[in-house]
Structure 1
C-alpha cells in the first residue's frame, strides 16, 4: 500500500517550469524550503510532506510500512494528480527528500530533468539503527528526537529563530509516520545504481553535517555521469533552512543549465527529424 503524502504549492504559478522539493525527516516542507522557493521566481515550486509530517495525514497503524521506492512512487502520483502525468520537472530534496530524488531519477528517468541532493546519501547505514529509532519513537513519542535532533541537524550559522521553528515542527510529527520513514531509510541503498543516473546532479553538503558529511555527498557526485559537489560553510544537515540564499543560488544555476541543455537537445531532435523527413 502506498503511503499518503500531501503536496504543497510553495511559490510560482502554473505554466512555469516545475520544480518539486522534498523534506528531511522530522521537518515540514514549507519551513525547510519556503525561503528558497520564494527566491526562484521563474519556477512553479511544489513541495511534499512526509507521512505524518506537516500537511500529510498520520500513518494508519493497521496498514503495512513502505519502502523508499513506494514513497517515491507516492510523490510522483501526487505530482501527476496536480499537474499531469507527462510534465517533466526538476527535483531537489534534503536528507530523505534527497534519497527520494535519487529513487525518482533512477526509476522514472523520463520525468526528472535535473536533481539536487542536499545533505543526503545513497544509503543510510542499514536497517539496525533505524529499527531502533523507530521502536524508540513508537514507545516514547517525539520527546527523544527533540532532545537528540539539534546535535544532528544544525550547524553554527543558523539563526536561533529558524532553529526554534524547526524544532517546533518536529514536536508535532506523528510518531508512527516518523517510525515508518525510519524503516524505509534503513532499507534504502542505490549505490550500485548511481552510474546509470543520466540527469545533471548537484550534491550539496554542509561542512558541519555530522549525519551525512561532505565525503558522503562526494560519493554521490563522483558516482554519477554528470555530478558536482558544493560544500557550505557553517551548515549542518538542513541546508535549505540554514543557508537559503546560497542554496537558492546553487539551485538556480543548476535549473538554468539543465533547461538550456534540454532546449538544445530539443532543437537537435527537431533538426534530425527534419533531415530524416527530407531524405
Structure 2
C-alpha cells in the first residue's frame, strides 16, 4: 500500500500491539507503521538496544508511558536516527520521594503475585483497567473490556521488569529540548499514572496537548484524537525533512 510520506513510524509501548489497534489504520495512510512491545527487558538501556535492533536507519518515534524514556535514551545516544519524537501518556522526569515509595510497594506486590501466578487474576485486571481509564465517567463495556483484555496479555514478570526499569531510570528532561526538532506530547487530562502536572514540568514548553475526559490509555480511550495529533506531527516531520533536504532509503 502506498503511503503519503516516505517515513517509518515506531509505535513503542510496554503494552502489546492491541493498544494501537484503533490508531494504526489512520497512521498507516501517512507512513510505514511498526509497533514494538517492550517485553521482559531489564532496563531502559536494554529496551533501547532492542528497539534499535528492529528499527530502520531513520525513523519517527512515538513512545507510550515507559517507552518515552526509551525514546529519550535513544535520542541521547543516536540522535541522527530520529526524525521526531512523540510522547503519549509519558513524561521525562524521575520519581519524587513519594512516587519512589509507591513504586517500591508496587514492585513488592508484583513479586508476591509472581510467586503465585504467571498472569494477573481477573479482579486485579478489572481494578487496574478502571484505575487507568478516566474516572470522569463510567467507561463503556467495550472500552473496559478492551482495557482488561490488553492488560491480560502482559505476564506479571513483564510488568515487574517495567516497574524496575522505571525505578532505575535517569532524568531525561534535557533531551526533550531541541530546536527545529518535531516534538509532541499527548496526555490525558485525567491521567492518574502520569498526571498533567508531572508532564508539564518535564517536557518542552508548548509541546503538550491534553485530551479531556481521558486517562492513561489515550490510544484506547481517544484513538481518533491520538491519530489526529500524531498525523499533524508527522506532517511537521515531513516539512522539517524537506526543509533540511533529508531523504530516506
TM-score computed with the length of structure 1 as normaliser: 0.74
CA distance in structure 2 between the aligned counterparts of 1:163 and 1:119, rounded to whole angstroms: 18
Counterpart pick for 2:167 among 182, 186, 189: 186
Match of 1:266 among 238, 245, 248: 245
Count, aligned residues:
232
Counterpart position of 2:18: 31
Which residue pairs with 1:217 in the alignment? 199
8 Å contact from structure 1 (residues 106, 196) kept in 2: no
TM alignment of 1:1-279, pairs within 5 A: 16-23=6-13, 25=14, 27-28=15-16, 30-40=17-27, 41-51=29-39, 59=40, 66-79=42-55, 83=56, 87-125=57-95, 127-141=100-114, 142-143=120-121, 145-146=124-125, 148-155=127-134, 156=136, 159-191=140-172, 193-194=174-175, 197=178, 199-222=181-204, 228-266=207-245
TM-score normalised to structure 2 length: 0.82
Q: Indicate the structure whose relative CO is greater, using CA pairs within 8 Å and at least 6 residues apart.
A: 2
Distance 1:254 1:205 in 2: 15
Structural RMSD (CA): 2.5
**For residue 117 of structure 2, what is the aligned residue in structure 1?**
none
Check whether the contact 1:19–1:43 (CA below 8 A) recurs between aligned residues. Answer: yes
CA distance in 2, matches of 1:102, 1:67: 13
SS of equivalent to 2:87 = strand
Query: 3-state SS of the aligned residue for 1:221?
Result: coil
Q: Which runs of 5+ in 2 are unaligned?
A: 115-119
- How far, CA to CA, are the matches of 2:151 and 2:176 in structure 1? 35
- Which shows bigger deviation, 87-96 or 230-239? 87-96
Quickly say closer, same or farther: Cα 1:176–1:249, change in 2 above 3 A.
Answer: same
State the Cα deviation string for residues 105-160 of structure 1 (Å, max 9, x = none): 22221111111101112135265433332232232242375254234310147543
Cα distance change, pair 12–210 in 1 and its aligned pair in 2 (3 A): farther
Q: How far off is 1:21 after superposition?
A: 0.5
1:182 Cα shift? 0.6
CA distance in 2, matches of 1:192, 1:229: 14
Alpha-carbon displacement from aligned partner over 1:211-249 (angstroms, at most 9, x marks no partner): 1112222223336xxx51111011000111111111111
Partner SS, residue 92 of structure 1: strand
